[in-house]
Amino acid sequence: MLLRELLARPELGLRLLHAPEASLDRPVRWVYTTDLLDPARYLSGGELVISGMVWRNGPGDAECFVAAIAAAGAAALAAGDAVFHGVPDDVVDACRRHGVPLLAVPEEVSFSAVTEYVVGSLTAARGDRLALSLGRQRQLLSAVAGGLGLDELAVQVATATGLTCRVLSATGRALAGPPMAQLDEAVTTYLTAPRLPAVSAGPHSLFAVGPASESRLTGWFVVVEGAFPDWHSEIADAVGELVALTALDRARRGEGLRVARDIADDAVALIAEGAGSQPETTVRLRQAGIDPATPLTVAVAGFPDRPDLAETARSVLVDAVSHVGPPAVGLHDGMAVALLAGDPAALHPALARLEPGLGRDRLTVGVSRPALPDALSGALQEARHARDLAATRPGRLHVVAAAEVTSHVALLAAVPDRLRRAFAARILDPVLAYDARTNAGLLETLEAFLDCSGSWSRAAERLHLHVNTVRYRIGRVEELTGRDLGRFTDRVDVFLALRSL
């Protein structure tokens, strides 16, 4: 109920002595009667505080009492006339200073009468809201049982609340609702908020779907326009029902995914054995919703430092692959292996959204080039090599494509660190030592020269040097390393040494 409604009851005879602008529209959550000088510890906000002011022994007491209830978020103060035959001016002044609405309770009106009216009104209103909520729940459950989809469910709740509702996965996959401009920010807030629900920019309120014990990396969440602390209880109830029904829908889909995972496990095992073109593999791929006649890309994912998170890696990859097509994802040798027919380019941005939620864990992913069924075994090996390369890089998340596996990066990654450093030192230590003594900039010039394919003029332009300076420095590098950078083989040695530093 509102303060305005309380003042409008003639049988209570309440007089308004002070009311800040718009304060009469404040909701009253409960009522609390006290004569303590500092009752703040008994208030949780939104109460109508009723007091006979027995605590008042001097003018300073009013300041103490009113400041305490204001800090606790009281909706208003109802002060009785009986003790002082009116409300003292110092109490009125304190209420003005702290912005607390002040009502006077006539001597002939008991505090119990005010309390009974407020409690009765609030109880009746809560009963009405409960009946409305139960009716809405029955309506929504009946609609879901009748085949209402998650997208239609979100539309129904959005229509009832006037707020746009969405359901998203941890990689930002839209499960229900319209596209979201602030998608990345919402996902980051979901993954990193200390507790949920939380509010992201927009503002948007985020609610976890499912048990709190589940890893957020594999979870779903509901996004609703507005900040949930500002909502009326009816809106909060409707959103809560959407979250609960979304959890039911997710559980229902989970049953189907469990069957699909067994099929994917069989298909991946057959491909690993080199039977990608065998009839049994073809059948398994079709059962997983994939056309075996089209070229397929293989993606391999895992947590290199956490073999116990293999199922988490599978769930993450299922979510990411779903941005592209049917999620045929199995487990093989402790890694999640996905087979997809669509463009794998969408995997990288989807997986990148998870990085803020990885904490200390590292997720590495390797992606093959498209291959026909008879070459899928090789594609799997290619994806594994790409993931091995990803595992050598620092950072929490790396997705490496097959194109990088055929480059010098893959070659160097396969060489033990000790040998790679020894190779670099044997060739470049004289250059590094010379730079350390003279600050001549030989290493920087060498890198620019090789990056410009041995062009003197382009290297000079990049370094903002005269071309003769570049020629002199490269000549000095050749003297120190014993390599002729005009020869292709020597240039390759120096290039690989630079990349091995």
Give me the DSSP letters along 224-250: EES-GGGS-HHHHHHHHHHHHHHHHHH
Report the chain's mean pLDDT, rounded to a whole number: 86
pLDDT at 139: 58
pLDDT at 305: 86
Phi, psi of 13 (to 5 degrees): 60, 30
Domains of the chain: 3-118 (3.40.1390.20), 148-250 (3.30.450.40), 259-413 (3.30.70), 417-500 (1.10.10.2840)
Question: Which residues on neighbouring strands pair with residue 205, listed in sequence order?
Answer: 199, 224
pLDDT at 299: 93
pLDDT at 145: 58
CA distances in angstroms from 50 to 2, 238, 412, listed in the order given: 16, 33, 78
Residues 164-207: tens digit of each pLDDT: 999 999 999 999 999 999 999 999 999 999 999 999 988 999 99
Are 446 and 498 in contact by the 8 Å Cβ rule? The answer is yes
Q: Is 467 helix (H, G, I), strand (E, B) or coil?
A: helix
Q: What residues of the chain score a pLDDT lower than 50?
A: 127-128, 130-132, 134
pTM over 0.85: no
Rounded CA separation 257/318 (Å): 9
Listed residue (360, 356, 369) closest to 400, CA to CA: 369
